[in-house]
Amino acid sequence: MEVSAAAELEAAERVVMRWDSSAGGDEPMMFDGAGDRAEAERFLRALDDIRRLAPPSPSSAAVQVAMARLEDEFRHVLVGRALDLEIEALAGLSSLSMSSDRRNSDATDAGDDDDGSSVSSSVGRRSSYRSLLSIREIDLFPADAISDLRAIASSMAAAGYARECVQVYASVRKPAVDSALRRLGVEKLSIGDVQRLEWDALEAKIRRWIRAARAAVRGVFASERRLCFHIFHDLPLCGSTAATAAATSHDTPFAEAVKGAALQLFGFAEAISIGRRSPEKLFKIIDLHDALSDLLPDISDIFAASKAAESIYVQAAEIRSRLADAVRGILSEFENAVLRDPSKTPVPGGTIHPLTRYVMNYSSLISDYKATLSELIISRPSASSRIAAEGNEAAPAFPDLDLPDPDSQLPLASHLIWIIVVLEHNLESKASLYKDAALSHLFFMNNVHYIVHKVKDSAELRGLIGDVYLRRLTGKFRQAATSYQRTAWLKILNCLRDEGLHVSGGFSSGISRSALRERFKAFNAAFEEAHRIQSAWYVPDTQLREELRISISEKLLPAYRSFLGRFRHHIENGRHPELYIKYSVEDLEIAMADFFEGAPPSQHNRRRSHG
């Protein structure tokens, strides 16, 4: 029996030594995928016989020759039999899973429609990164090649050369993974590189990163993990026995192949999460947060169960948390920026201030991100604490935010109302810059009306603001309109009162013709001044502009008609009546069409009562 065993061992060693890579021969590869695997199977059986018949000794010549040969064969299969990765199919993991329901799009995103918003393109996209398609494991090798790799890895691990096998695997698959990420558009950027980029460039890179990350996690990393499982599952890679290694059978080669690429991929999101916070970054950071949140379950499935790779999942979860902190911090920055907006030049004509447009378009976008922000914004604002935090001693103190129903409101809703309160506070300061009190009221009316209009136009924003607060805003712009009319027109309407026109005593009583002439002259001068000045004022909303003209006309025209009817004959019976009765009621009605157009009055051929 011993003689037979010795002969059998010698025969096995001869089979192995025939494939000595160091001999410099030009033998073909055993595992070449050509279909004839007889030599490969004979080699593996011989290696099994050596392990079975000889004392365990990884340093024996035959074993060393066999291991060197198997390393070459393993590398050959990994390099030569890999299937071409279809990056286009992987990229489809992004496009197929992104919702098409995007009410607001980036102006810089090619192919997306512009909604006409005056907010810069950096705030522009509704977040909807909720997966419709999850992990897609792609075949990286043909089935027979995977069988060969499994057979080689099993023989090397059994001979105590598992570490060498893993090193060969990682040396081939790591560059393949890196190449796949490059083809997906993932760039090698340090945290410093990312933070030095201009925001416009960074914004485009965030969009590309989201697409690439989805494909990398759900396609590249998932497929690599499956490949490692098929090759290394249950092999004793980390311990002396299969029992101690079973729990981490394919962790090490998988981690060594993908860890560098994964750290590079998530390093970009990390750089964004710790970068400088500014309002224009909010919506892209929410997109990044939502994309990462959407990927985390898949990252967990792929990495968290692996002792060797779980740090990647931990890193991704920490980055998502920092992105959430950044979102909260940016919202606070935005609120404070609105409060301390420094512009001290009144806008011409009392039109809508650029700050009002920016803030309300920004608020509409905030409401579009309601699903995410409702989860992230968990505390309510306090007016007094905000002002105190600003240290803005010049700003007049005003009370804490008076919410209509604070207990039933989301904290996000409270923040949106607070933003509008702060905006109103700022607008009141800007209104005081106008020397003409009537124009100050018109400016405030225009801007609060625009706020109301924007709230009504967005179902999401209106739902968060609530009808109770919306009614308060509506009341404010109507009050401003009333204040404007009272300030601008009371003096003109007072010219059409009877007081001061009657005389009595002596031998006559009745109307003082001289007083009446002065009254007509005063009216003409006041109306002409109002017409000249207020035609240059601007009410941009067509409906509001017309309603304001009608409201003024309903007061002015009947009063003028009545005044003219009562006193006209006193003027017409005297000399040069055309100097005093310059306008008919129809003339005034025509002139009213010039008001609030934001331009000098047009030259109407007005019908005169005389001339």
Tell me the pLDDT tens digit for each residue of 440-471.
999 999 999 999 999 999 999 999 999 999 99
Q: Do 183 and 302 have their domain in common?
A: yes
Give the separation between CA 546 and CA 64, rounded to whole angstroms.
Answer: 95
User: What's the pLDDT at 123?
Assistant: 36
User: What's the pLDDT at 477?
Assistant: 94
The CATH number of whichever domain residue 210 belongs to comes to 1.20.1280.170
Q: Tell whether 398 is covered by a domain.
A: no
Residues 84-105 have a mean pLDDT of 52
Give the separation between CA 46 and CA 69, rounded to whole angstroms.
Answer: 13
Tokens found for residue 9: 């061992």
Q: Choose one of 487, 522, 543: the last residue of a domain.
A: 487
Share of the chain above pLDDT 70, in %: 77
Q: Do 449 and 555 have their domain in common?
A: no
Please report how the helices 411-431 and 437-457 are oriented relative to each other, as an axis angle in degrees rounded to 10. Answer: 160
Print the domain residue range for 63: 1-81
Q: Choose one of 446, 470, 487: the last residue of a domain.
A: 487
What string of DSSP letters covers 224-268? HHHHHHHHHTT--SSSSSHHHHGGGTTHHHHHHHHHHHHHHHHHH
248, 308 Cβ separation under 8 angstroms: yes
Output the CA–CA distances (angstroms, integers) from residue 545 to 45, 436, 542, 549, in the order listed.
94, 19, 5, 6
What string of DSSP letters covers 553-589? HHHHHHHHHHHHHHHHHHHHTSS-GGGT----HHHHH
Q: Tell whether 124 is covered by a domain.
A: no
Tokens found for residue 12: 């096995």
Q: Do 456 and 552 have their domain in common?
A: no
Residues 126-135 have a mean pLDDT of 47
User: What's the pLDDT at 561?
Assistant: 95
User: What's the pLDDT at 407?
Assistant: 61
Q: Do 450 and 557 have their domain in common?
A: no
Number of compact structural domains in the chain: 4
SS (HEC) of 391-434: CCCCCCCCCCCCCCCHHHCCHHHHHHHHHHHHHHHHHHHHHCCC
Give the separation between CA 254 and CA 243, rounded to whole angstroms.
Answer: 20
pTM for the complete prediction?
0.80
Q: Do 463 and 506 have their domain in common?
A: no
Give the separation between CA 182 and CA 176, rounded to whole angstroms.
Answer: 10
Helix (H, G, I), strand (E, B) or coil at 29: coil
Each residue of 238-274: pLDDT tens digit? Answer: 644 444 444 445 688 999 999 999 999 999 999 999 9
**Which residues are 502's β-sheet partners?**
511
Q: Tell whether 287 is covered by a domain.
A: yes
The residue among 97, 96, 122, 102 whose CA lies nearest residue 369 is: 102
Q: Tell whether 568 is covered by a domain.
A: yes
